[in-house]
Amino acid sequence: MEYDYVIVGAGSAGCVLANRLSADPGVSVALVEAGGQDDKLEIRMPAGFSKLFKTDYDWNYTTAKQGEMAGRELYWPRGRVIGGSSSLNAQMWVRGCQQDYDQWDVPGWGFDDVLPYFQKAEHRVGSNRGGVYGSGGPLHISELRSPNVTTAAFLKACEELGMHRLGELNERSNEGYSPTPVTQDRGRRWSSADAYLRPALKRPNLTVLTGATVERVVFDGLRAVGVEHDGGAQVRARREVILSAGSIGSPYLLMRSGVGAADELRDAGVEIVHELPEVGKNLQDHLSSGVYVECKQPVTLVKAESLVQLARYLVLRSGMLTTNVGEAVAFVRTSPDEPAPDIELIFAPGPFIDHGLTPPTGHGLTVGVVLLQPESRGRVGLSGREPVIDPGYLSSEADVRRLVAGLKAAKKIFGTEAMKPWAGGPMAPYPAPETDEELAQWVRDRGETLYHPVGTCRMGADAESVVDPSLKVRGLEGLRVVDVSIMPTLNRGHTHAPAIMIGEKGADLILT
């Protein structure tokens, strides 16, 4: 099988590419995805995302033992399905702020350069104060249909503490608080597959291969000419191979294909095609901790799985099952010396414990505390048929300090007058730590990923970067990486929105 373009990974960026490249009827496009179809009810149902964790729809990764986090191996869910992680995520549309993109210092990738691509993707349903969002794009951005009553109390608590109310969350500066805009359409998840892939499936020049796990990129000298999947089957590319397999999959495939640090490849028994030492390095992720309290009234998402709520969802597309769980956010600076927010506070009107995999013992509330720009760095390495994931969490003491300050801010929210009718005492497993040392230990013992790994195929104008500003892999021909692995640093937001933007801009770079 031979096509003009072969895209690896039908996640957020991959679906964008499949749509935009196949819009030209004169080219042929193959989209190769390891997972299957996104036809499970829990994918469509916004509140059901944690039910997909550790299933066939999930790569179900585990990190290496983290020495600064009590030696734990942490669970990392990543989507293994059409739509990728946009079929498993909490649907939060959070771009980050202007400084995030300007600080990359990569020509063509400053905030004013990428803003048109965000807006090209967006179709804002409802308010659009100040023209922040685009209109008419394929990706629906809306307000939650049935926000919880306690979410309004959280927003009031932020006001009580003197925070700034944002007109729209995705303004150039996101310092302040806001309800969370979500990628939903009339109460159901609206993934990248819904937005981009399905409208393109009727095109005869687009082929989608599911259940096809790519094992390596095939090279003719230094030119990528296709990919090999599932024991030797090949899909050939006349023009380009494009890796959109994410911050774990893309560097792992490069290394398995002989592109990476020479010593690592030799140790793994991989023949070297091209030495590129930074492949897999620069791994960054949003580490999250949280404060859990009991709720004094039985109004939380603990009731979401009742027959009444299921009927409301199936008949009216309303009720608790339309929640994304993270219903409101606040972006705060832990010090006036910070140039922009360094902590995100996410409010969940329910006890979201252990990725939602631990059943709650009663009604509770959560404020998740997210470290937005960690100083710690990790790596993705090569070990046989499985990647080695070592995020290097808390290898910088400054990261611990910021998370401790964030936990104190979360505790203040629960202590406000606005939260008094709802917030009770500490809820297990939260031990109500008081001192900085106790709070730091709570982070080490129970901190988890917020599912935002980036950076392992770093983009840059420098010769050491993995991809150049046009997303071409340095030193090779016919090969690009188009996903969040190219981000030099993490944004002060979430990564679904940048993934879509990178797909949109990447498609333009390929076509021009």
306-322: per-residue pLDDT in tens? 999 999 999 999 999 99
Residue-wise pLDDT tens digits, 3-35: 999 999 999 999 999 999 999 999 999 999 999
Instruction: Give the three-state DSSP class for 381.
Output: strand
**Among positive and negative, which fits the CA dihedral 397, 279, 491, 496?**
negative
SS (H, E, C) 236-265: EEEEEEEECCHHHHHHHHHHHCCEECHHHH
Q: What is the pLDDT of residue 50?
A: 96
> Does residue 180 carry a pLDDT above 80?
yes
Contacts of 210 (CB under 8 A, 6+ apart): 10, 33, 35, 36, 37, 82
Q: Classify the C-alpha dihedral 152-158-161-167 as positive or negative.
A: negative
User: Model confidence at 130, in pLDDT bands (50, 70, 90)?
Assistant: confident
Instruction: Indicate if the pLDDT at residue 52 is higher than 80.
Output: yes
The runs of H, that is alpha helices, within 275-386 are 307-316
Give pLDDT, residue 386. 86
Instruction: Tell me the mean pLDDT in the region 265-281.
Output: 96
On whether the CB atoms of residues 117 and 504 are closer than 8 A, the answer is yes
pLDDT of residue 212: 98
Q: Which residues contact 69 (CB under 8 A, 6 or more apart)?
A: 393, 394, 443, 444, 445, 447
* pTM for the predicted model, two decimal places: 0.97
Helix (H) or strand (E) holding 437: helix 436-446
Dist. CA 434–CA 443, nearest whole Å: 13
Residues belonging to the active site: 452
* pLDDT above 90: residue 127: no
Backbone angles phi, psi at 267, to 5 degrees: -60, -30
Give the pLDDT score at 385: 77
Asked if 16 contacts 509 with a C-beta cutoff of 8 angstroms, the reply is: no
Please compute the mean of the pLDDT values over residues 101-121 and round it to a whole number.
98
Of the candidates 511, 467, 493, the residue with the CA atom closest to the CA atom of residue 178: 493
Six-digit token string for 139: 């990706």
Structure tokens at 437: 């040392």
